[in-house]
Structure 1
Amino acid sequence: MELVRPADIEAARTALAGVVRETPVTPSRALETVTDAPVLLKCENLQRTGSFKIRGAYRRIQRLSAAERAAGVVAASAGNHAQGVALAARLLGTRATVFMPAGAPLPKIEATREYGAEVELVDTLDETFTAAEAFATRTGAVLIHPFDHPDIVAGQGTVGLEILEQVPDVATIVVCTGGGGLLSGIAAACAPAGVRVVGAQAAGLAAWPPSLAAGAPTSVAGATIADGIAVSRPGEVTYAHVEALVDEIVTVDEEAIARGVLRCLEREKLLVEPAGAAAVAAVAEHPRRWPAPVVAVLSGGNVDPMLLVDIVRRGLVAAGRYAALRVRLTDRPGYLADVLHRVGLAGGNVVDVEHRRLTGSGPDAVTAPGTVDVALTLEARGHDHRAAILADLAGAGYDVAAE
């Protein structure tokens, strides 16, 4: 298979002039304290439609013939690709139909409609692509694949060209990856310049390691909070690029991704979706693994507000700053007040208190007579501080455990 060339990416960049913005690159002081080396963030979360996807979608549709555009385009997506296709189609004067799962976040569905696409909802994410293929066969509309096409790869590769200009001495670029379109494009643009390119994938749904080991795209099952990279099988086009050009694939777990989202919010003042934070998570988990300067690509910032609340909570728990304790007390006045007083003296901030006389099901569901379980949710300064609060309560004679 012929790979996308730097010249193809340069042509895509010319076509995208005035359509996409050249997103900024900003130093990450927080990550530099972890790595002891320069780390910069490429902020595609600030791109039009909130992610890099507009780049590939526009280039793919722009390259269609007049007859193909007249027939319209169709796509399947849970969010970012949907919005990129919708806007690109509107800018290029063609109709777009996008199949999305009924459970997709409402803001993403509404944004896709506002960009001008007709949205069709189906039951699950797996069914969206089948429905889109059937629609293409029935109507003649052109299917715009989210990653597995050379024009998509070339469009996404323009991110890499910008990085080469913005950070001329870049040594390593870390890129989140699902299907591999962005990773392939950046590798096609930057690997010839001697830049090390690393893919970061969610461990909960990581198809790249087994695919590369097998020598061909391989399907896996799993789940991840990083829905933007929740792809169960790489494409043929992207596989060829990753195998030939990408130096390494690493995986990051859910807690690391949640910490990455929280790190971007708190320290970088950037709203980044879980997929976009995967590269940040990889740099934080492997602080001295790659030559510096390192650029981590923040691929998007489209995150459902309700999911964001859960992710922030996960990040706080993973960082030891949000703790749940179970304390068994004598059920008499004064004991709870003493526990709360001790937590306060230790510097903990109690968020919630719940009395539990029923602790589960079966014969042990009821606490012993004269006792009560109290569930405390509190804020701490980290793992050591949380452990110190537990130790203080245990030292005072309380039966206490982390939940």
Structure 2
Amino acid sequence: MEPNCPTSSNDYAADISSIRQAQVRIEPFAHRTPVLTSETLDSIAGRKLYFKCECFQKGGAFKFRGACNAIYSLDDDHAAKGVVTHSSGNHAAALALAAKLRGIPAYIVIPKNAPKCKVENVKRYDGQVIWSEPSMQSREDTANKVLQDTGAVLIHPYNDGRIISGQGTISLELLEQASEIDTLIVPISGGGLISGVALAAKAINPAIRIFAAEPMGADDAFQSKINGRITKLSEVNTIADGLRAFLGDLTW
């Protein structure tokens, strides 16, 4: 298993250099997604809004950027053994798709209670589904067994410098497409997206403001900021199933 690849002297897992490298690395594969506007929403908000439409990214989500960067960062020897992750969401499908593009195996550990549509997405991209029990402990134990059996490389959904760098390419595009933006609002869950976006945006424009958005029923990042340490909730209550993860040490 490869390390999470810290790239700077202050031990951050990513920086503007690694994000620019990721942009070059994924450019042949990832879409440059559009930025759309709405006069109706502008009038309601009383300001000019821009929407970076990652729903039009390959795989249907921004997750493809990080997965693609991680997979194409691997040398041939590591890549040949494949990659593994435990996820039932967009990262699982994105990793399977990126692995398919490189022609390597993707072992995806999925809990038995995962939505059928998300399992089908993984299978559509030729990911090899390995079932686990719904608990995080079972997911991690199953993934570790796959690692031991295959020698594959673990690609964490968000707590990985290669993932963070890939997600950060969103800022590079967005601030070229709409350079006048002075504030970003970014969803936060595990934190891979906002980590990359913030690192890149602040490097380009140190004065830019960045807000993390999460459901009130899953406000672990807010609680973590208040407590000064990673705080996991005993119960999460939100329909936004992509925002139920907790921060990792790198994204924190």
TM-score using structure 2 length: 0.90
Match of 1:54 among 64, 76, 80: 64
* Bigger Rg, which one: 1
**What amino acid does structure 2 have at the position aligned with 1:121?**
W
Q: Secondary structure at the match of 1:129?
A: helix
> Structure 2 CA distance, aligned partners of 1:196 and 1:137?
44
Q: Deviations over 1:14-37 (max 9, x none)?
A: 001121101111112332122111
Q: Distance in 1 between matches of 2:172 and 2:140?
A: 31
Is 2:85 the counterpart of 1:75?
yes
Gaps of 5+ in 1: 240-403
CA distance in 2, matches of 1:125, 1:40: 38
Alignment correspondent of 2:161? 150
The alpha-carbon deviation at position 179 of structure 1 amounts to 0.4
Matched, 1:203 2:216: yes
Question: Greater strand percent: which structure?
Answer: 1
Q: Any residues of structure 2 matched to 1:180-195 within 5 Å, and which? A: 180-192=191-203, 193=205, 194-195=207-208
After TM superposition, give the deviation of residue 125 of structure 1 in Å: 5.5
Q: Alpha-carbon deviations, 1:66-113, whole Å to 9, x = none?
A: 221122111111120011100111112211010112222222211211
Residue 177 (structure 1) aligns with: 188
Give the secondary-structure state (helix, strand or coil) at the position aligned to 2:74: coil
Q: Which has the higher contact order (CA 8 A, sep 6+)?
A: 2
Correspondence for 1:90 among 97, 100, 107: 100
Post-superposition Cα deviations, 1:123-178, rounded to whole Å, max 9, x if no partner, equal: 31623233213321343211110001111100000011111001110011111110
Distance 1:37-1:89 versus aligned 2 partners, 3 A rule: same
- Given that 1:74 and 1:132 are in contact with CA atoms closer than 8 Å, whether structure 2 keeps it comes out as yes
Residue 220 in structure 1 maps to residue 238 in structure 2: no
Counterparts of 2:108 and 2:38, CA distance in 1:
36
Q: Deviations over 1:294-336 (max 9, x none)?
A: xxxxxxxxxxxxxxxxxxxxxxxxxxxxxxxxxxxxxxxxxxx
- Give the AA of the match of 1:153: I
SS at match of 2:41: helix
Structure 2 gap ranges (5+): 1-9
Q: Once superposed, what is the RMSD of the aligned Cα atoms?
A: 1.5
Matched, 1:133 2:133: no
In the other structure, the counterpart of 2:11 is: 2
Secondary structure of the structure 2 residue equivalent to 1:173: strand
Alignment of 1:4-403 (within 5 A): 4-124=14-134, 126=136, 127-192=138-203, 193=205, 194-221=207-234, 222-231=236-245, 233-239=246-252
Please give the alpha-carbon distance, in whole angstroms, between the structure 2 residues aligned to 1:131 and 1:168. Answer: 45
Deviating beyond 3 angstroms after TM superposition, the runs of 4 or more aligned structure 1 residues are none
Q: TM-score, normalized by length of structure 1?
A: 0.57
SS at match of 1:19: coil
Amino acid aligned to 1:154:
S
Percent of aligned positions that are identical: 35
